[in-house]
Amino acid sequence: MTHMLDKIVTLWPEVALLVGACVCLAVGLSPRAGTRLLCAWVAGLSLVAAGGLLAFGVGQADQGLAAAAGTGMTGFVKAAIVGVGLLLLLVAASVPSELERDAPGGLVDGDGKFDPGSVMRGEFFAFFLFSLAGAMLCAGANDLVWLFLALELTSLPTYVLVATSRDRADAQESAVKYFFLGAMAAAVFLYGFTLIYGSTGLTNFDAIRAYVAAFADSGEPLAPLLRTGLILAILGVSFKIAAVPMHFYAADVYQGAATPVTAMLAFVPKTAGFVSLILLLSLVQPAGAEATRAVTWLLCLMAALTMTVGNVLGLLQHNVKRVLAYSSIAHSGYILVGLVGFTEAGSTALGNGTAAVLFYLVAYGLATVGAFAVLGCIGSRGDEAQTYDDLAGLGRRHPVLGAAMLISVLSLLGLPPMIGFIGKIYLFGSAIDRGYTLLVIIAVLNSAVSAVYYLRIAAACYFRDPAAETVSLAVPWRRAGAVLAAISALVLGVAGGRLVDAAHVATAGQAQAVAHVSSVAP
Amino acid sequence: MQLSMLIPMMVVLPLLSGAALLLLPSGGKAIKAHALIGTLATLGVSLLVVCRFDWSESQAIQMASAIGWVEGFGLSFGFGIDAISLWLVLLTTVLMPLVVLGSFSSVTHRFKEFYGWLMVLEAAMIGTFVATDLIFFYICFEFTLVPLYLLIGVFGGTQRLRAAKMFFLYTFTGSMLTFAGVLYVAWFNTTLPWTLFEGAGRWTFDIRTLYGSAQAMSHGQQVWVLIALLSGFAVKVPLFPVHTWLPLAHTEAPTSGSVILAGVLLKLGTYGLLRFALPMTPWAVVTIGPYIGAFAVAGILYTALICWVQKDIKKLIAYSSVSHLGFCVLGMFALNSVGVGGSILYMINHGLSTGALFLCVGMIYERMHTREMSRMGGLARIMPVWAFFMVFFCMASVGLPGLNGFVGEFLTLMGAFVATDVLGPAYAAIAGVGMILGAIYVLYMVGRVVFGPVVTLGPSLGDPSDGHGVRTDDLNWREIGVLSPLAVGCLWLGLFPTTVLQTLEAPIEGIIEPTRSILDGGVYGKGVTIDSDSERIDRDSDFPAARRVLVLFDTDRIAQP
């Protein structure tokens, strides 16, 4: 059991974000819009500071603290969150306070009504940073209580962000839906955690792994209580990643929230959820494949159902935000494919499912943020762009934005040479390596189905004539974010070798840590 | 400059000149000139490759090299070229400048997009033929979808949206299954003992290594892999009954798109079958081959009958493509050097003659604004030059002796006829009926459009392009310049097919060696025996007690750069 102070030493990047969040809260109180504008810069600075701390190894666990940091993947996940976090900040930093000239019907109402979507607000950036810090804390969790608190720190700010993102009934509705379902999910996985504690008497991950390893050595099967607890925890966390059976909220919430917030919802809670899943599954990894068969079956079933439900329902949508929401659900299904082989730590790079999950989270994050960012750059009829019609002719009117949208959807589709393709090689290769060929066939067929709605987006951008009522919003930072995300998706696809290696090294460290714990089991 | 840099130059050059297009002013002239120069430069590089290619070692992968990509997966941008690849690359680089030249008058808006995507498409097609890494191949194979999707969708006919969508979805679905199959083969390689052959026992996507890997599979596994490969490649070919995307895509595509589609893209499918299905899964090919042959024959007859009743001249040529590619597949699955040689020759021939036919039809569409055969006729009297080329390419397509189509058709049928261990005379005889039907529908079309009473009705009422007015001027010098090289090619291949065929002999021997050794000896392979005690092998119950594995390609036969 490590002392709390030892742990805090590893948390400097998170501390940087929390300090930034508090500064944002204070600065955001200013009545002057010019001063409030500083909030975005403060948030950016604290993210850059966190990135710098990560890059220079401050807050990285040294040898003695490897166990305290939990796992080797922490650094990778934190870096990914900071990187995509910066993109998300770019997307959120510009508020559409002005419209391009001669726009029929503006976003800002003339009667001076308060519209939160078009005002620079301090609390937005504060909650944004809180949520990112929570996701980073998840990656460093080594205790059930810690994990629970970190997951809640990730989620609670997002409820507020959704509710205050727009002056629309939709936003309120989706926030309430999101909050109550999120609370229920939290209750489910907390219940799971308590059962794990009840079965083992432990909350520390290393101790639980050692306990499980000791049982596995004595040849006894996994305790039913522990298994039940784990399954409940997995089902609860599946809310965060929007996987079947906890996916219902996603489309409504994504649609209701303002587009920058939606982009964040699609990445941050999902990353936290998958990191938690990896950690939870690592608890029973020492028990071996035979004892965890039920868990494996559950994951297979969830993966197959999630991607099928996501893609089939995605076909039926007319609202692009809902389409991307279902695409996000489907991607959770693909990513789950990487987790089914969790019982064996992969030795070869392509056989390493956990590394594939980490890599794909980055790939998915870049492409999804890119797509939402492009969507956020267009307005229609005094509202956000939402339908296929609003995207019509984008490729002609704004060639750069159109290209960014095209690259993003093609990367989501997994078309080479975008990063999504390497991600799919990684995920599906690891699953085939573990013998789940049927699951991979289901996954590739699902990819083919998803092509229908991704192509609809591409076709709207390129084949149709521009619609008269769409206007482009004056959001330079958001445009920059969209372009940056698309360029990253393309460049990292062609030159993704280093990122793949990084993911592999990160999880190889984890495998070692687990093996280490198993070998010193009492 | 290093010799091995020629091939990447061939891929990167069109890509770069496509990107450079974005910097040009949006006026039409500069862009057209730039595109023409870019494609001609690529042709120049490919001719340089032809000069430096060692024809005495035509089966060896020459000028091979690899650029690292994702080392962890064993992925690299590996490339190299043998005689089969070289001829198909040459077909691509020769067709592209002609396509660009042919599009000067037919494309009237969004020049940058059009010529830019055309160049990207060329890069992807060349990449497909020179890849020696399976994933690199797959990337180029898949990426051809995007430029053509946009070309059809933006510049196509009235039903272009539906055609573009159908084209993309159909081929993408098939190739996703191929992707799963590729991953499976690569994974299987990691389960083999590393002593078996060089490269075994680790993740790699090197094509030659994976030949050995897939050949070591049990029959059941090979059948699944073959089905996975077929689902991607047969759709691309397209083989009956998965050909239904083609007529629409061909008809709705702009002329340039149709020419590239017929000339090169369909060959990606047959090239995939030849390069991967035959050497990788020989055991499955031998048992499944007759069924594939039957589908090919059914496709030949079925689509030939459909051609007979077409009213749309472009659709007729599109369907005739399906019929012709049936011969190509039939010859390939005869699994003898005659049949496979004919099949490769057929790929080149079909690229030249059908590409030229689409160009001819495009030229008439620019003048008449219609593709309905009932609204044109007797054009030989008013457009004699066009009529000459049209009849010439129709004859080449039908298989008139002396022109190229005849050689390919004859060789594929003879290959099928003598391959009594796989296909046999019955297949050849029934497919021969397809030849007769082919003559009927093409002559019927020529009789109506080229000869007979003059009809120049133009578009029917209500056609959106109505009002442009019908022109009946004959071909200008640019158009003659587009068609003449193709005509020369057809004539040359018809009179001297051996120049191509003799360079193909050695690589074909290499490709059909595994299937031949199964057919001839009944014994599978001649190489190393896998130790049946090895636990990695034992985990598949499908394996026989002792397996013999053929190691096809010695690494020393691959020319070092």
Give residue B529's pLDDT: 37
Are B183 and A432 within 8 A, CB to CB?
Answer: yes
- The reply to whether A200 falls in a domain is yes
Q: What does the alpha-carbon distance between residue A389 and residue B389 come to, in Å, rounded to a whole number?
A: 45
Give residue A118's pLDDT: 58
Can you tell me the mean pLDDT for B94-112?
A: 86
Can you tell me the mean pLDDT for B135-156?
A: 90
CA B171 to chain A, closest CA, distance in angstroms equals 9
Q: What does the alpha-carbon distance between residue A309 and residue A246 come to, in Å, rounded to a whole number?
A: 12
Contacts of B183 in chain A (CB under 8 A): 425, 428-429, 432, 440
- The reply to whether A341 falls in a domain is yes
The least confident of A92-96, A143-147, B73-77, B261-265 is: A92-96
Token pair listed for A455 = 């192509």
Instruction: Find residue B377's DSSP bridge partners.
Output: B455
Are B72 and A500 within 8 A, CB to CB?
Answer: yes
Top-confidence residue, B555 or B442: B442
Are B139 and A417 within 8 A, CB to CB?
Answer: yes
Give residue A494's pLDDT: 83
Are B187 and A415 within 8 A, CB to CB?
Answer: no
Residues of chain A with pLDDT under 50: 1, 61-70, 97-113, 517-522
H-helix or E-strand containing B78? strand B75-81
Residue in chain B closest to A438 (alpha carbons) equals B180
CA B137 to chain A, closest CA, distance in angstroms equals 11
Are A451 and B72 within 8 A, CB to CB?
Answer: no
Q: What is the DSSP letter of B264?
A: I
For residue B526, name the pLDDT band (cuts at 50, 70, 90): very low
* Spatial contact of B435 and B412, defined as CB atoms under 8 Å apart: no
In degrees rounded to 5, what are phi and psi of residue B550?
A: -95, 125
- The reply to whether A107 falls in a domain is yes
- The reply to whether A4 falls in a domain is no
Cβ–Cβ pairs < 8 A, chains A and B: 104
Give residue B541's pLDDT: 34
Please enumerate in sequence order all residues whose Cβ is within 8 A of that of B438, keeping only pairs 6 or more positions apart, or say none.
Answer: B304, B307, B320, B323, B324, B397, B398, B399
- The reply to whether A340 falls in a domain is yes
Q: From the centroid of its chain, how far is CA A467?
A: 33
For residue B465, name the pLDDT band (cuts at 50, 70, 90): low
Q: What does the alpha-carbon distance between residue A244 and residue A229 come to, in Å, rounded to a whole number?
A: 18
Residue in chain B closest to A418 (alpha carbons) equals B139
Please name which of A70, A81, A74, A76 lies closest in space to residue A46, comparing C-alpha atoms.
Answer: A81
Give residue A178's pLDDT: 92
Best residue in A442, A463, A487, A498 to probe B by mutation, most B CBs within 10 Å?
A: A463
In terms of residue numbers, what domain contains A112?
A: 9-519
- The reply to whether A1 falls in a domain is no
Please name which of B168, B171, B328, B326 lies closest in space to residue B236, comparing C-alpha atoms.
Answer: B171
Number of domains into which chain A is organized: 1
Give residue A326's pLDDT: 94
- The reply to whether A3 falls in a domain is no
Contacts of B187 in chain A (CB under 8 A): 429, 432-433
Token pair listed for A418 = 């975008």
Distances (CA, A) of B108 to B114, B121, B259, B301: 10, 20, 18, 39
Between strands B62-70 and B75-81, the pairing is antiparallel
> pLDDT (tens digit, 9 = 90+) per residue, B359-401?
999 988 888 888 888 888 888 888 889 999 999 999 998 888 8
The mean pLDDT of chain B is: 84
- The reply to whether A510 falls in a domain is yes
The least confident of A431-445, B186-200, B471-485 is: B186-200
Give residue B554's pLDDT: 37
Give residue A292's pLDDT: 82
Give residue A114's pLDDT: 53
Q: What does the alpha-carbon distance between residue B538 and residue B228 come to, in Å, rounded to a whole number?
A: 24
Are A448 and B172 within 8 A, CB to CB?
Answer: yes
Residue in the block written with tokens 């055969």:
B373
| Cα within 13 Å of Cα(B206), Cβ side | 24
| A57 close contact with B: CB closer than 8 A | no
Instruction: Find residue A215's DSSP bridge partners.
Output: none
Give percent of chain B with pLDDT exceeding 90.
33
* Residue A380, SS3 per DSSP: strand
Can you tell me the mean pLDDT for B170-199?
A: 87
Please name which of A197, A49, A77 lies closest in space to residue A141, comparing C-alpha atoms.
Answer: A77
Give percent of chain B with pLDDT exceeding 70.
91
| A432 close contact with B: CB closer than 8 A | yes
